[in-house]
Amino acid sequence: MFEEKINIEDDNQTAALFGSFDGNIRLVEQQYHVEIVCRDNELKVSGEPEDVEQAVRALKSLIALANRGEIINEQNVRYCFELVREGNERKIEALAGDCICLTSKGKPVKPKTLGQKRYCTAIESNTITFGIGPAGTGKTYLAVALAVKAFRAQQVSRIILTRPAVEAGEKLGFLPGDLQQKVDPYLRPLYDALFDMLGAETYQKYVERGNIEVAPLAYMRGRTLDDSFIILDEAQNTTPEQMKMFLTRLGFGSKMVITGDVTQIDLPDGKRSGLKHVLHILRNVDDIAQIRFTEKDVVRHRLVQEIIKAYEKYEEAGR
């Protein structure tokens, strides 16, 4: 049995590292098959030499994150395991302190993975950014957070969010109500993100003033969008013609973010995805960034990562 010790500077650091009911430490023990004991601000890690070495690397990176004032939870503990596997655990410190904005309840919105950090940096540095990746990687949520940040800083005067009104594999039939009520179900994820950032009352105030617009993609035709932060969500469900129409709406002083998952295309059979098409066409154009997420960037329940991995493995085997 091999043993290694880690010194911890103070009790607050210990509490942050261990988490509620020592949940974080239990995760490390399960992941690396080690035993961790804390006495007098010292962690003792016991197990097989290779397991102990990896556990110590993970713990030291989590301690460094706690030192920067970050809350240690299951998501960033599991993400730290991925970085240890790649030998990049020291990079986790780069995630500390990057608060994009505060939600209406005062909760800070931050990138939680290195992929998310690259995405946020790309949006701030480029006029058009494509965020491509699986569900749960924060593509839309972070784009809305950056839009709210730009709006609050008066860098733009409007936030425009849009997505194609395409049903996800099921026919909903005729929906009741006026035109807005008919398209609202398709736009619900965008409303949810805005409500979280602004609160329902503030959101409604900005909608009435024309500062925020949430609309289906068809509403964009014929417009020039100046001084706006424009987000196209679920872009994999656009046709090449719709994508070209959308991109050519760009006006002066505006930013565009296009998000999508090319593995979840809901277009009728025989129709090409405008997102897949445009990524090839614009791959070498300056001031246009393409950021690709993987299952490592998923920040939902850990099973979402496992589901994505299982589907990728199945699809690769079927090729």
Q: Which domains does the chain have, with CATH numbers?
A: 2-95 (3.30.1370.10), 101-317 (3.40.50.300)
With CA atoms as reference, report the closest residue to 101 among 161, 159, 53, 143: 143
8 Å CB contact between 128 and 255? yes
Residue 99, amino acid: C
In tens digits, the chain (319 residues) has pLDDT values of 788 988 887 777 788 888 888 899 999 999 999 999 988 788 999 999 999 999 999 999 998 888 887 888 888 898 999 899 888 888 888 887 778 988 888 888 889 899 999 999 999 999 999 999 988 899 999 999 999 999 999 999 999 999 887 644 444 455 566 556 666 676 777 788 888 899 989 988 998 999 999 888 888 888 889 999 999 999 999 999 999 999 999 999 999 999 999 888 888 777 889 999 999 999 899 999 999 998 888 887 778 777 877 887 887 776 5
List the beta bridge partners of residue 291.
131
In 80-206, beta strands by DSSP E: 101-102, 108-109, 128-132, 158-163
- Cβ-in-10-Å burial (0-12, 13-18, 19+) of 74 comes to middle
Cross-sheet strand order for the sheet of 228-232: 212-216, 158-163, 228-232, 255-260, 128-132, 288-292
| Tokens describing residue 32 | 């690396």
In degrees, rounded to 5, the angle at the alpha carbon of residue 111 between the alpha carbons of residues 302 and 78 is: 30
Grouping H, G, I as helix, E, B as strand and the rest as coil, residue 254 is coil
Residues 156, 134: Cα–Cα separation, whole Å = 29
pTM of the model: 0.84
Q: pLDDT tens, 9-58?
A: 777 778 888 888 889 999 999 999 999 998 878 899 999 999 999 999 99
CA 54, 57, 60, 66 dihedral sign is negative
Name the DSSP letter for residue 175. Answer: P
Residue 212's H or E segment, with its range, is: strand 212-216
List the beta bridge partners of residue 38.
43
With CA atoms as reference, report the closest residue to 131 among 216, 235, 227: 235
